[in-house]
Structure 1
Amino acid sequence: MNSWSYARLLGLLALALIWVTPALTVEPLAAAQKKRQLAWWESARPAQPTPAAQLVYAHSLRDAGRLIAASKQYRAITYAWPHSPEASLAQYNYAQLLERRGKELEAFAEYQYLLETYAGFVSYEEIIERQYGIADRYATRPRRFLGFRYQTPEEAIPLFETLIQNAPHGKYAAELLFRMARIYEQNKQIELAMETYALFQQQYPGHALRESAAFSHGKCAYQYSLANPQAVDIRQHAEAVLAGFLERYPFSAMAAQARLWLQELQMAQASILYQQALGYDRQARRTASPAEARALLHAAQLCYQRVIYEYPLAHWAETARARLSRVEQRLEHYHDH
């Protein structure tokens, strides 16, 4: 797993903690958090002597269409008078103007600062709506390079995570978590996709998208198993995920495909068990040690039994029954002697 995927996995763990951590009562901060240090070319000097007069002046610049100048004057209030009644409104207008000017990532960050610093003085739902709009546009907006159109929805994932953290039980949280899983799946980041689909099902069991999430979880688990054919635990996990989907949604339009994937994985597992049993069986014939032969025959017996009882529809099952009978006869021979 690369460093980006590892960071995203940590992000998922942080999201999971949101739903298990007791909710905290949000209180307005007694003092506004310190904003970032401005560069030398960024002015934060107010043009008026009081925050009220400064706010009126900033409004006049905005209404006159001088958006850059207005942005600077709104920002000046939040630096010069961060504890004033006008500061939260100035911060809100500053973020709005950044958004209007196309500086959407900066606007998102300033809306976030507004929520964290002036939580009791702004409409939380309205700010979430504005942040959602930015995140949605960032995820879906087509980009161009050398005449080619492309999209980079993965760049919106940090914004999605912030929105979910801001309102884990809000109207967008489930949708955004599902979209994160889709983005991971489309980018072939299968482990992250599986983790996110699983988290979605855990946190939103009654959501309309839960069936799709369960199916996609199974699909990703199946693909991950194919990519790791020697990993028995990964294949067994995929079987469990697909079987769980079919148990919950036996009449789903996607159930037929899930059954095909599950059958394929089961046949592969049955084949591996049969080959293991055959190997133990043959080794038992070659060894000169009766104790070692008994141990190998018991191992073969167990593998043949698993093929028969766990995968009765596998084409190996009938052959396994015949070989199991001969193994048991040989074990009786050892017991008799």
Structure 2
Amino acid sequence: MLKSLSKTRRCGLIVTILLGLPCVFPQGAWAAAKPYVESEAPRGFHLFLRPKKKTPTAQWDFVQQLETAGKTRDAANQSLALRIYWPNAPEAPAAQMRYARLLEQRRHPEKAFEAYQYLVEHYPGRFEFTEVLNRQMQIAKDTMNRKKGKFLFFPGFTAPERAIPYFGQIVTNAPEGPHTAEAYYLIGVANQRVYEYEKAIDAFFTSINRFPNSPFAERSALAQVECHLKISQDSPQDKRAMDTAHAAATLFLKRYPNSDSAPEVENQLHLLRTRQIENAYARARYYDKILRNPTAALMEYKAFVALYPNAEQAPKARARIAKLESSEKE
């Protein structure tokens, strides 16, 4: 191209290049140059993992051969290699799915869940979404009930809280999906088992209100009652806790009057009401006999009679009201 330019222009071009200045070539001077075209999709890299074949198609065939031969570990590794080195290949989603299933088969549930999640986040619309949700749900359930620490005659123990993030991810993946109501319910159950009653109540509440017609709505409502009762039992002097438990039990019976659990809830409601009566009367007695505050005692006795007019302690409360009122007049 330089030969096609005049001597003056050649000198000027050389000076321009040496000085680092921008230069403009005559139209058509570079017509023979071909534009750069990306000839291959970007490939990934892994320090310790290499595909055995040179194309994704050949690699996918190789993966299936390994699995057929029973070499599940090698098949899993080569599936992952395919996805890493050819992430945009048509075979990549299927390879990632195969990798996740083989991890499950080889009893690596946590890694399998993450592998399924990679599909959801990186290959939307390129795999069977319902199948992935089903597998993630099963892994979460197994994790919730799996026992740890088995040794000789020691049976081990479960750690249901480990499954909570999995159920939460399933809810995020499919907010209106077929497993969402159950996932919220199981988040509640897992929290309930580790005594996180407030968190459990929130999860049960969500399951009930977002999916009132699901098979898990009644179970969530019952479990919610159990949590409120447990909180009230742990804090026997907490009036608010008892009132909330009473409201939850009453609402359950209103919503599910024909439930198989209704008799037990009614029994618990009766026991709770007995505790409420005893606490209310004890509170009035405390102001009356311990603090010797007749004004406050009178208010508590009147509140007691208004709330529980037929209680066993009601006659005594009325007698004290009359006595305190006569003392005030004097």
TM bucket by the smaller chain? Answer: 0.7 to 0.9
1:85 aligned residue (86, 90, 107): 90
Mapped contact 2:284–2:300 kept (Cα < 8 A): yes
The amino acid of 1:116's aligned partner reads: E
The within-5 A match list for 1:228-267 is 228-267=235-274
| Map of 1:180 onto structure 2 | 187
- Over 3 Å counting, the alpha-carbon distance change for 1:59 and 1:301 in structure 2 is same
Deviation, structure 1 residue 151: 5.1
1:67 aligned residue (65, 69, 72): 72
2:171 aligned residue (158, 164, 167): 164
With 111-120 and 264-273 compared, the bigger mean Cα shift is at 264-273
Deviation, structure 1 residue 224: 1.4
Mapped contact 2:182–2:207 kept (Cα < 8 A): no
Q: What are the ranges of 5 or more consecutive residues in structure 2 without an aligned counterpart?
A: 1-40
Q: Distance in 1 between matches of 2:231 and 2:255?
A: 22
1:303 aligned residue (295, 300, 305): 300
Larger radius of gyration: 2
| Map of 2:201 onto structure 1 | 194
Q: Distance in 1 between matches of 2:125 and 2:284?
A: 68
- Are positions 1:313 and 2:310 aligned together? yes
| Map of 1:207 onto structure 2 | 214
Q: Distance in 2 between matches of 1:61 and 1:209?
A: 43
Mapped contact 1:281–1:327 kept (Cα < 8 A): no
- Over 3 Å counting, the alpha-carbon distance change for 1:77 and 1:266 in structure 2 is same
Deviation, structure 1 residue 279: 4.0
| Map of 2:57 onto structure 1 | 52
Mapped contact 1:47–1:73 kept (Cα < 8 A): yes
- Are positions 1:95 and 2:100 aligned together? yes
- Over 3 Å counting, the alpha-carbon distance change for 1:278 and 1:108 in structure 2 is closer
- Over 3 Å counting, the alpha-carbon distance change for 1:175 and 1:151 in structure 2 is farther
- Are positions 1:218 and 2:264 aligned together? no
Higher helix content, 1 or 2: 1
Deviation, structure 1 residue 110: 0.4
Q: Distance in 1 between matches of 2:282 and 2:138?
A: 56
Q: Distance in 1 between matches of 2:275 and 2:144?
A: 39
Q: Distance in 1 between matches of 2:146 and 2:279?
A: 47
1:179-220: per-residue Cα shift (whole Å, max 9, x none)? 333333344443333333223222221223323322222122
With 237-246 and 138-147 compared, the bigger mean Cα shift is at 138-147
Mapped contact 1:267–1:311 kept (Cα < 8 A): no
Deviation, structure 1 residue 63: 2.5
Deviation, structure 1 residue 113: 0.4
- Over 3 Å counting, the alpha-carbon distance change for 1:224 and 1:302 in structure 2 is same
Q: Distance in 2 between matches of 1:276 and 1:149?
A: 47
| Map of 2:24 onto structure 1 | none
- Are positions 1:322 and 2:288 aligned together? no
Q: Give me the CA root mean square deviation.
A: 2.9
The amino acid of 2:326's aligned partner reads: Q
Deviation, structure 1 residue 150: 4.0
Q: Distance in 2 between matches of 1:312 and 1:300?
A: 17
- Over 3 Å counting, the alpha-carbon distance change for 1:177 and 1:151 in structure 2 is farther
Q: Distance in 2 between matches of 1:69 and 1:276?
A: 72
State the TM-score, normalizing by the size of structure 2.
0.76
- Over 3 Å counting, the alpha-carbon distance change for 1:86 and 1:320 in structure 2 is same
Q: Distance in 2 between matches of 1:280 and 1:136?
A: 52
Mapped contact 1:184–1:192 kept (Cα < 8 A): yes
- Are positions 1:149 and 2:155 aligned together? yes
Q: Distance in 2 between matches of 1:236 and 1:160?
A: 31
2:109 aligned residue (104, 108, 114): 104
Q: Distance in 2 between matches of 1:233 and 1:303?
A: 16
Which structure 1 residue ranges, 4+ long, deviate > 6 Å from structure 2? none
Q: Distance in 1 between matches of 2:315 and 2:124?
A: 69
Q: Distance in 1 between matches of 2:121 and 2:255?
A: 41
Q: Distance in 2 between matches of 1:48 and 1:254?
A: 61
Mapped contact 2:284–2:297 kept (Cα < 8 A): yes
Count of residues paired in the alignment: 287
1:127 aligned residue (129, 132, 136): 132
1:156-186: per-residue Cα shift (whole Å, max 9, x none)? 3322222222223222222233233333334
Q: What are the ranges of 5 or more consecutive residues in structure 1 without an aligned counterpart?
A: 1-31, 287-295
Identity of aligned residues (%): 32
1:209-268: per-residue Cα shift (whole Å, max 9, x none)? 323322222122112111112322222222221222233334434333323333333333
